[in-house]
Amino acid sequence: MVGNRLVLLTMAILAGCGGERDGAAAGNESTRDLQRPAVAADAKLNDRPSKTAAKRPAAQVAAKPTAKAVARVLSAGTAIPAKFDASISSRTHKAGQKLTGTVSSDVKDKGGRVVIPAGSKVYITIAAIHESERKSDKTGKLVLTPTKVVIAGHSYPVSGSASALDRTLKDRKTNAGDIAKVGVGVGAGALLGTAVSGGSTKGAVIGGVAGGAVGAQRAVETQDRDVVVPVGSRLKVTLSAPFRRSI
């Protein structure tokens, strides 16, 4: 009997302990703070664009305004300094042939802005060319016409005149025309000497020598001389109308 009582007493004690633990657990659950923690007002937000916004067509994105092109102008009368890229000779060149020159220094507008930079190309056409046929002619004939200027691959029309500042005259070797001129002088001198000396041979010889001298002098005076422009020599282009370039 005593043994049964001890067993029952032990079971009662154990049951009481278990009830206290369950009650404590329940009490603890009722005292827990289940509210969300407060967020600081100055906290940084981790905002990122959505995938939909990232995939918007480029047309919907505002484009930056482009700057307007500004025209730079050279007034009429402006000189463009250049140098010939090749030589010219009235012996080998003809009217209509095209030539080029290289701008030797920057050409600026009235505001000091560069309009035609050094290194640009000037295109010119030979309008007329002819050798000098008289000793009194010191220049011969060479007329050049500028047509365009090429700057960084872009072509711009140009109106004006062009001058070869270092052109010279070069004597040609005696040709058939010069010999014919001498022959005419000799024949005329011989006829004149014969008439003066009464038809004697001596008069003809003297007249022939004198006539030859006159003919030779005339040949020198009328000897053809070519107009020559050396490569790299100075070329001057003068504008007859304003030149415009958009930059």
CATH for 71-171+227-246 is 2.40.128.260
pLDDT tier for residue 60 given thresholds of 50, 70 and 90: low
80 close to 101: Cβ distance less than 8 angstroms: no
Highest mean pLDDT among 29-33, 45-49, 179-183, 230-234: 230-234
Residues in contact with 162: Cβ distance below 8 Å, sequence separation at least 6, in sequence order? 122, 124, 144, 145, 146, 235, 236, 237, 238
* Section 88-98 average pLDDT: 97
pLDDT tens track for 98-156? 999 999 999 999 999 999 999 999 999 999 999 998 877 877 899 999 999 999 999 99
Spans of all domains in the chain: 71-171+227-246, 176-221
Q: pLDDT band at residue 176, thresholds of 50, 70 and 90? A: low
Report the pLDDT averaged over residues 198-217.
53
Calculate Rg over the CA atoms of the chain: 53
pLDDT band at 24 (very low <50, low <70, confident <90, very high): very low
Q: Which helix (H) or strand (E) holds 195?
A: helix 176-196
Q: Which of 26-30, 90-94, 99-103 has the lowest mean pLDDT?
A: 26-30
pTM of the model: 0.57
In whole angstroms, what is the distance from residue 118 CA to residue 156 CA? 15
> pLDDT value at position 13?
67
Please, what's the b/e burial string for 63-96 (b: 16 or more CB within 10 A of its CB; e: otherwise)?
eeeeeeeeebebeeebebbbebeeebebeebeee
Nearest CA among 185, 187, 169, 166 for reference residue 223: 169
